[in-house]
Structure 1
Amino acid sequence: MRIGLAQLRLENMDKNVRKALDLLRKSKADVVVFPELFNTGYNLENISKSDPKFLIEASKETKAVIIAGIPEKGYNTALVIHRGKILGRHRKTKLFPLLNEHKIFKAGKVVKPIETPFGLFGIMICYELRFPEIARKLVNKGAKILFVIAQFPSERIEHWKVLLRARAIENQVFVVGVNCVNDHCGGYSMVVDPLGNVLKELGDCEAYDEVDINIKYVDEVRKKYPFLNSP
């Protein structure tokens, strides 16, 4: 499975959408991942105009599963889209208190993996990365890869790096973290394997890259190190 990391510099809504559509046309990945609220940012005017139709239409022209964070129906949402259909959505359950996010969005209530042509995907959004119980719930329900989309700040980017690796190590899964870059967000999107090795790490500038992984490696690691089966 080839995963595309779309570490976008968030600008105005039109530019964000154009960049995403152009990237999808060029991508060779099986799964393309965009950051949290990638089309609007936290701009309240943009949030009110957000509509997933552009992604649904774009997905008809690519083989890729698209994972993208957008505002939807009052929630901070990660959509999983393939071939013109929404396969599922994760609505952010932990709203970030330092941004008063609860004044902008409602909190989601459901944590469960989403079925895709490549297996069960566990999705987390930014602040949820700090809650290991969310990752473990997704893994206990069958996810062997976790996708974390974010607007993670530059001043705490070392937390981001450590937490992504920690979630991979403690759950013996692949973890894909895709952050944005702007005046406040620090980038460093990465792919981590089930032993905590960083397979790909982007820097602090806008970038796109693709990484090949073998999901069967999760089973190999768990067989060799059966830590999840400990009583």
Structure 2
Amino acid sequence: MISKQLYALQAKTKQNFEDNLNHIRELIINCDLDSIILLPEVCLTNFAYQKMEEASEFAKVATQALLDLSQEKTIVTTMIEKYKDGFYNNLKVFHNKELLHKQSKNKLFPLGNEHLHFKAGDIEEITPFNIDGLKCGAINCFELRFIELWERLKGCDLILVPAQWSKERKDNFETLTKALAITTQSFVIASNGANDSMAKGSGIITPLGYETRDDTKEIINLKANFNEVAKARKFIDIGL
């Protein structure tokens, strides 16, 4: 039996990058060892369109800090990084002081003008990865709306969804993350930003759709028994 503490962090993002990192560090330190911790999308800098170069440089500092914090923990977030052809919104998985997986956001949010500031990542990067024997996958914010990306993660035990989803579409975020869990019969961790314009709605959903959410908390957690994945797939057999 594999069981783990799962955490969705629901934090506000300030203008000062270092302050954000220090606050996230405090939250991570309060999470148990042998846990999987999901941070909101670009929670260390926000989208920072006026300071993209600075945000990209800060990603180097943040990467080292999260690597250090990932001793006996798994930490997942996204950050702005620059390559030769432009800026990318990169999802990174830190596990036992190593970079276990990276994927660049493929579906850029047009209402937020992401397509004007970021390059789209290769869809082939959205692929399962292994955490301590668990088959895991990730979908970054707006990508949640694309069923073809759900298909790429069929068979995963756990799917992670970092986000900065606005409060006007709160019901969309909560409905889609629950539907993702039920459709894939996976555990889902959804971690959304907590700024005034954000929907919150962060939480953990079981393969049968039971939800643990709390908009009043910065740390939302659930001890997950991953035997529930196999039980759900045996009980309602959809070929997974």
What TM-score results when the alignment is normalised by the length of structure 2? 0.88
**Cα distance, 1:225 vs. partner?**
0.8
Correspondence for 1:202: 214
The DSSP-based 3-state class of the residue aligned with 1:128 is helix
Correspondence for 1:223: 234
Distance 1:53 1:82 in 2: 17
Distance 2:66 2:237 in 1: 41
Q: Indicate yes or no: 2:88 matched with 1:80.
A: no
Q: Which amino acid aligns with 2:168?
A: E
Q: Check conservation: 2:79, 2:91, Cα contact below 8 A.
A: yes
**Cα distance, 1:45 vs. partner?**
4.2
1:11 to 11, 14, 34: 14
Q: Indicate yes or no: 2:125 matched with 1:103.
A: no
Which structure 2 residue ranges, 5 or more long, are not aligned?
none
Correspondence for 1:40: 45
Aligned ranges 1:164-183 → 2 under 5 Å: 164-183=177-196
The DSSP-based 3-state class of the residue aligned with 1:146 is strand
Aligned ranges 1:86-125 → 2 under 5 Å: 86-109=99-122, 110-125=125-140
1:17-40 per-position Cα deviation (integer Å, ceiling 9, x unaligned) = 110111222221511110101111
1:56 to 54, 60, 64: 64
Distance 2:226 2:144 in 1: 21
Greater mean deviation of Cα atoms: 173-182 or 39-48? 39-48
Greater mean deviation of Cα atoms: 184-193 or 37-46? 37-46
RMSD: 1.7
Q: Which amino acid aligns with 1:5?
A: A
Q: Check conservation: 1:9, 1:206, Cα contact below 8 A.
A: no
1:147-193 per-position Cα deviation (integer Å, ceiling 9, x unaligned) = 00000000100001110111111111111110011131121101111
Q: Check conservation: 1:56, 1:85, Cα contact below 8 A.
A: no
The DSSP-based 3-state class of the residue aligned with 2:59 is coil
Q: Which amino acid aligns with 1:28?
A: D
1:43-71 per-position Cα deviation (integer Å, ceiling 9, x unaligned) = 12443223244343443343110001111
Greater mean deviation of Cα atoms: 42-51 or 186-195? 42-51
What TM-score results when the alignment is normalised by the length of structure 1? 0.91
Which structure 1 residue ranges, 5 or more long, are not aligned?
none
Correspondence for 2:29: 25
1:151 to 154, 160, 164: 164
Correspondence for 1:129: 144
- Give the number of equivalent residue pairs: 225
Q: Which amino acid aligns with 1:32?
A: I
| Structure 1 moving runs of 4+ over 6 Å | none
The DSSP-based 3-state class of the residue aligned with 1:211 is strand
**Cα distance, 1:211 vs. partner?**
1.1
Distance 2:182 2:220 in 1: 23
Q: Check conservation: 1:35, 1:149, Cα contact below 8 A.
A: yes
Q: Check conservation: 1:181, 1:206, Cα contact below 8 A.
A: no
Q: Indicate yes or no: 2:205 matched with 1:192.
A: yes
The DSSP-based 3-state class of the residue aligned with 1:42 is coil
